[in-house]
A and B are shown apart, each in its own frame.
Chain A
Amino acid sequence: DVKVTQSSRYLVKRTGEKVFLECVQDMDHENMFWYRQDPGLGLRLIYFSYDVKMKEKGDIPEGYSVSREKKERFSLILESASTNQTSMYLCASRPSGESWNEQFFGPGTRLTVL
């Protein structure tokens, strides 16, 4: 069974803290993605990666960075958390090849920044 796991379901951090959100997939997928989900806004792409140590900015990369040192792991980093980064964060992975391949999503991490 395919699986994308995220390190935490709920996380509470303080303004200015450095925050790491971890995502691991066990499907040997080349492509991995980070989205944030906000009510009334749907999902918006933050960053994606198509290979180890490769990354590309999505639609809303400001305030975030990413790291992909191993194929199965893709980390989202909030260098200095702010209250407007309170959100649900979803990780996804997809094999390379045709873009119509399904993206597999993790359960999400609900981050609250106080």
Chain B
Amino acid sequence: AQSVTQPDIHITVSEGASLELRCNYSYGATPYLFWYVQSPGQGLQLLLKYFSGDTLVQGIKGFEAEFKRSQSSFNLRKPSVHWSDAAEYFCAVGAGGGADGLTFGKGTHLIIQP
């Protein structure tokens, strides 16, 4: 069975600073990988996804993520954070085929300092 680890429960970053959120996955085959964001009181919104091809994936809101098979990682990055980026971030992995659901990490809570 697949699993996802987000080692950082909370991260605090100053506004304008760069950001990297870590995600490690466990899956036997080529994974389908996702990053979702959940703003306070909101549902989940997809930031970006990876299935194949270029290992550097661009998403919405200026986010990007890099798939590294050798490290089983899919870290999320942003060069300069804005106060509106404060939210909960979830990494998720999906197995191939069918209607299977996603396996989510426990989330990383991002705090932006002024």
Contacts and interface: CB of A to CB of B under 8 A. Distances in A.
Contact of A99 (B44, B45, B96, B104): B96
Contacts of B71: none
Contacts of B42: 107
Interface residues of B, number: 30
Interface string B34-72: 101000011111100111000000000000000000000
Interface string A94-111: 101011101101111000
Nearest to B102: A103
B98 interface: yes
A114 interface: no
A22 interface: no
Query: Interface size for chain A: under 10, 10 to 19, 20 to 34, or 35 or more residues?
Result: 20 to 34
Secondary structure dominating the interface of B: loop
A45 B112 CA distance: 30
B100 A48 contact: yes
Contacts of A44: 104
B95 A40 contact: no
Contacts of B41: 107
A64 interface: no
Q: Of residues B6, B50, B95, B103, which shows the largest number of chain A Cβ atoms within 10 Å of its Cβ?
A: B103
Contacts of A41: 106
Interface of A: 4, 30-31, 33, 35, 40-45, 48-50, 56, 58-59, 90, 92, 94, 96, 98-100, 102-103, 105-108
